[in-house]
Structure 1
Amino acid sequence: MKAHLMHPDRDFDPDKIPVYADDLIRDLALDTLLGGMAADDGFLRKIARAALLAGCDNDAETVCYRQAVLQDCLQHRTVVEELYRFTVETLDAKRDHHYGVFGHYPPAILHGAIDVLRMFVERLRKLKVIADAHASTFRSPGFKRFFDTLKTELSDEYLHSIQHHLKEGRLKSGVLISARLGEGNRGKDPVLRELRDKRPRWIRLLMDPGSRAYSFRIPERDEAGARALSELEARGINLIANALAQSMDHINDFFTMLRTELAFYVACLRLYDRLKALNVPLCFPGIDAVGTRRLSFTGLSDVCLALQSGRAVVGNTLDLDGKDVAIITGANQGGKSSFLRSIGLAQLMLQSGMFVAAGSYTGERCKALLTHYRREEDASMKSGKLDEELNRMSRLVDAMSPDWFVLFNESFASTNEREGSEIARQIVGALQERRIRVFFVTHLYAFAHGLYETATAQVQFLRAERQDDGTRTFRITPGEPLQTSYGKDLYFETFAGTDDTLKDVSGT
């Protein structure tokens, strides 16, 4: 029995994390996003992290499958949250049983497994009641199949038969074992048999004292004989004990996976509530095939900035369909890095099957998302900033293939303008030739302007908007690179009101 709420054809693997995950977490501020999804719940955080980081492995069918499940969750959140709590309580109840303390001893395995299975059967019965009450209101293929599976595989007859077998498995009427004779008349191949007369032993002895078979009794002080009989009994019930233990593990795995897959959607519900409370626009994005170069949106905002600031932030509206490269320039503190992060977050959220922070959004699926952001200088002084950037770039290039998506933020600015521009130009050109999509935030005017003069239709130039009085609107609009980033605006905005000499300088 499978949940299959994350994939239409397989279980979700929470341990599958890409090797470049640490860079994505750091550069896209994913800890902030995960905080909005999970708060202090470590399990929700782990599952949400895995789903986001491994999203690029999902095909379009899986993305649409999850979107439909999540839409059901939003419409029936009370039921979904009840299901999640139910699975958590079930697994907690299993842990409260002391099964496994004597796991090497077949009778202990048998009775421990029976105890846990009896609890599981009662929980499965309650799960079926929940499913029967609400199945008709869910519309997504994922939930419909899940509820249909519960209805088919957990019929009343099936559950009743399990309870019957568990009752028989306690062997209260005694143990009947058959065996074949082996070498030296030793018994071999023991088989546990079902008793025809299932009356308790004392009743059988009282009502039918005459023996119908050859028998013997072990004297009370014959410890060796008692031990040999106990070992014979253990051999006889070993197979049924192991079978019940495997059944217990199977049901436990079902509840574990159900909890894991529901956890992603519960985390999405929490994030949805947080963002709606901040009036952040949200939508379910459209997804196109790999290589179509689709990307258009209205009101796209940086979800992490909204969570950090506690309010909705300025969104951007752009049509970047057909573009392989986007070069983003403009005023300092104008919203370039926030825009780049909003692109990366939207891509991860789209491919994991979530909503995105936009009024509308359509994008293509990429095979992988990478980031190359400026880093602080090596604390050990073994290398400078440029060496570190080039080494990191080399490792990324070794992993890249066509239809990957790379976000650059102020890369190669740690050297002089000419050298940094030439490095950036050659790298972007090579990536474009390999059909790798690039978004590049830069202050390297020689790089941006040189590319502008020779650009093809597949390159889009964007600029952080600045009004004539120096006010930043934090919007990104199409525009050619400018030679200044208006750093002086920020300088006088910070210091001009504190000293008269600084006011005089502002007029120069």
Structure 2
Amino acid sequence: MKTGLLDPVGDRRPARERACSLPAGPSEPLPPELADDLADDLHLERLLAAMSDGDRLTRDASRQVLLHPRSDPAVIEHRQRALSDCLRHRERVEELFALCQDALAVRRDILWLPLRGHPSSELSSNVRRLGALADHLEVLHTLCAGIEDEFSSPAFRDLAARLDQQTSPSALADLRALLRELALPDGLLITAGAAVDGTVEPVLARRTGLTHPHLLARMPVGHPRETFVLPERDQAGGEALAALRDRALEDLAHLTTSAVEEVTGFFGDLRRELAFYRGAVRLVDTLRDLDAPVCWPDPSTSDTTATLGIYDPCLALQRREAPVGNDLELRGAGLLVVTGANEGGKSTLLRALGLAQLMMQAGMVVAAEQFAARPVGRVLTHFAREEDSQLVHGKLDEELERMHRIVEAIAPADLLLCNESFASTDEAEGSELLLEVTRALVDGGVQIRTVTHLFDFADSLAQDEGVGAAFLRAPRDGAFQLVEGGPLRTSFGLDLYDRAFGTDLADPRTRPRSDTPAVPKEERP
């Protein structure tokens, strides 16, 4: 049984609408090393820590959802409406989650021996577990009534409607009656035949007369009473009889094992999906406590990205305050190039854009005042790395190797975030490498957001109108608000020097001649 809280069960949209949209399922998952790079580059662990608050299940569930973005706007909106219900009805969600925890503890509390070759023990254990799970299904049925009355999202209402039928009092009464019979309180009735070679075949379990609804049919009058009692010390006979019993119960044992796995699998899936929503609710509360804005993103826009006040939520969580937000409107541009002063907020904006895309396609709120973006297939990153401490690769070799893995895995409609790619070599070589990769990927339908100090690279794209790149520039005033503007040849290194050493060399009015030593501000008369 499917839960349907993250992904709709079936597609109820009109056929014409389905034909015009991307598939609801996930894209091909990223290779593990690229997924780890993405999580590291975007500082995803800070976000997961805020969502999980130390709970391993919530962290793992949230990471799984965030790193497997959905590209269908209908699926994204399905999750958004479910999350909206979770924000309004937190106590009911907590009750559902606690019920799933208790149901999954049944395996721990009841001895379970699903050992092939021991059908009697397997059946007996499964009957006890199914009996305990039936009690939890009964509680779930009660909770479903409240869900149908209070919740408005299709995710929760459809789940409640399905469970209302499958866990109805009559269905659970039938289940319990069957379990009483499978407990074999009056022994086991089997039929067996003899094959030509003398082996016993087949061996089938039968329902006993005690299940017959008429009393007279259960009376032994008129029925044969032949019996055979094994001698007390007949060990071989006892083993043969036990083997015969196990053969008769083998199919029933396997069927009840499948039933246990299906019910516990349902509770496990429901717990995992609720854990993600609980984490998303916790993140909303945390950001709001910091007075950091959040919004419901629009995944149905034709624009690649348009946002107001976007910021990096991980930076907000680290500093415990709302960072400076940025505005951005790319219209249809698939390529964004960010240049400008050092420490002007370029890398922070890049992370904010990547996290916003992942959060939107997970069905979460986004760290911005407004956010609209076209869903992508997957998000990949190519960020500058520190020098290899093992001295296995040079820095450029390592960058080229990572870019090679990305190019092999990337697909049209994916999003690539580049931060100072190929800055480990000289201006001419780095610009040429990055330019060739960027043009090839953009021509292949990949969206790219790149932060760079390579002027030749950025200037070549600015001169090429066919690429259709958009440009942002970090100003030198340290306000961390980027503005529209093409690349400049300077990276404002003097500004960085001034902030580090307390000088004002960047100010042309006080800039000393080349033969005059720089004097810190506090030492000047």
Pairwise same-fold verdict (TM > 0.5): yes
Match in the other structure for 1:46: 60
What is the letter of the counterpart of residue 22 of structure 1?
D
What is the letter of the counterpart of residue 268 of structure 1?
A
Distance (Å, rounded) in 1 between the aligned partners of 2:321 and 2:4: 36
Deviating more after overlay: 215-224 vs 101-110: 101-110
Match of 1:310 among 292, 315, 320: 320
Match of 1:482 among 488, 493, 501: 488
1:218 maps to 2:243? no
| 1:389-441 deviation per Cα after TM superposition (whole angstroms, max 9, x unaligned) | 12222222222332221111111111122222222223222222223222111
Unaligned runs of 5+ in 1: 200-206
3-state DSSP of counterpart to 1:402: coil
TM-score (norm 1): 0.90
1:279 maps to 2:279? no
Asked if the contact 1:492/1:506 (under 8 Å) is kept, the reply is no
Asked if the contact 2:304/2:334 (under 8 Å) is kept, the reply is no
- The 5 A counterparts of 1:257-268 are 257-268=269-280
3-state DSSP of counterpart to 1:355: coil
| 1:83-138 deviation per Cα after TM superposition (whole angstroms, max 9, x unaligned) | 11210121123222111176631211111011100000000001111111232211
Q: 1:134 to 1:141 in 2, by over 3 A?
A: closer
Shift of 1:473: 0.8
3-state DSSP of counterpart to 2:170: helix
Shift of 1:52: 0.7
TM-score (norm 2): 0.87
Deviating more after overlay: 156-165 vs 319-328: 319-328
Asked if the contact 1:303/1:357 (under 8 Å) is kept, the reply is yes
Match in the other structure for 2:156: 143
- The 5 A counterparts of 1:148-227 are 148-183=161-196, 185-197=198-210, 212-227=224-239
Match in the other structure for 2:241: 229
1:444 maps to 2:454? yes
Q: 1:208 to 1:422 in 2, by over 3 A?
A: closer
Distance (Å, rounded) in 1 between the aligned partners of 2:127 and 2:85: 36
- The 5 A counterparts of 1:92-491 are 92-100=105-113, 104-183=117-196, 185-197=198-210, 212-288=224-300, 292-456=302-466, 458-467=468-477, 472-491=478-497
What is the letter of the counterpart of residue 48 of structure 1?
S
Distance (Å, rounded) in 1 between the aligned partners of 2:383 and 2:75: 30
Distance (Å, rounded) in 2 between the aligned partners of 1:392 and 1:113: 50
Distance (Å, rounded) in 1 between the aligned partners of 2:476 and 2:109: 62
3-state DSSP of counterpart to 2:99: helix
Deviating more after overlay: 251-260 vs 454-463: 454-463
3-state DSSP of counterpart to 1:411: coil
Asked if the contact 2:58/2:276 (under 8 Å) is kept, the reply is yes
Match in the other structure for 1:203: none
Asked if the contact 2:190/2:248 (under 8 Å) is kept, the reply is yes
- The 5 A counterparts of 1:50-65 are 50-55=64-69, 57-65=70-78
Match of 2:51 among 37, 57, 80: 37
Distance (Å, rounded) in 2 between the aligned partners of 1:184 and 1:215: 25
Match in the other structure for 2:5: 5
Q: 1:212 to 1:402 in 2, by over 3 A?
A: closer
Distance (Å, rounded) in 1 between the aligned partners of 2:211 and 2:230: 23
Distance (Å, rounded) in 1 between the aligned partners of 2:29 and 2:441: 27
Match in the other structure for 2:95: 82
Distance (Å, rounded) in 2 between the aligned partners of 1:101 and 1:428: 55
Asked if the contact 2:340/2:475 (under 8 Å) is kept, the reply is yes
Q: 1:431 to 1:101 in 2, by over 3 A?
A: closer
Q: 1:60 to 1:504 in 2, by over 3 A?
A: closer
3-state DSSP of counterpart to 2:486: coil
Shift of 1:209: 10
Q: Matched residue pairs, number? A: 492
Distance (Å, rounded) in 1 between the aligned partners of 2:223 and 2:471: 98
Asked if the contact 1:326/1:440 (under 8 Å) is kept, the reply is yes
Q: 1:457 to 1:180 in 2, by over 3 A?
A: closer
Asked if the contact 1:12/1:261 (under 8 Å) is kept, the reply is no
What is the letter of the counterpart of residue 138 of structure 1?
F
Asked if the contact 1:293/1:322 (under 8 Å) is kept, the reply is yes
Q: 1:416 to 1:94 in 2, by over 3 A?
A: same
Distance (Å, rounded) in 2 between the aligned partners of 1:186 and 1:324: 73
3-state DSSP of counterpart to 2:381: strand
| 1:235-284 deviation per Cα after TM superposition (whole angstroms, max 9, x unaligned) | 22222222222211111111111112212111111111111111111111
Distance (Å, rounded) in 2 between the aligned partners of 1:423 and 1:243: 60
Unaligned runs of 5+ in 2: 11-23, 213-218, 504-516
Q: 1:382 to 1:239 in 2, by over 3 A?
A: closer
What is the letter of the counterpart of residue 241 of structure 2?
L
Deviating more after overlay: 186-195 vs 354-363: 186-195
3-state DSSP of counterpart to 2:140: helix
Quote the sequence identity (%).
Answer: 37
Shift of 1:451: 2.8
Shift of 1:226: 2.1
Q: 1:92 to 1:58 in 2, by over 3 A?
A: farther
Distance (Å, rounded) in 1 between the aligned partners of 2:462 and 2:167: 65
Distance (Å, rounded) in 2 between the aligned partners of 1:71 and 1:504: 54
What is the letter of the counterpart of residue 443 of structure 2?
E
What is the letter of the counterpart of residue 166 of structure 2?
E
Deviating more after overlay: 190-199 vs 83-92: 190-199
Match in the other structure for 1:27: 41
What is the letter of the counterpart of residue 417 of structure 1?
E
Distance (Å, rounded) in 2 between the aligned partners of 1:286 and 1:427: 30
Shift of 1:172: 1.4
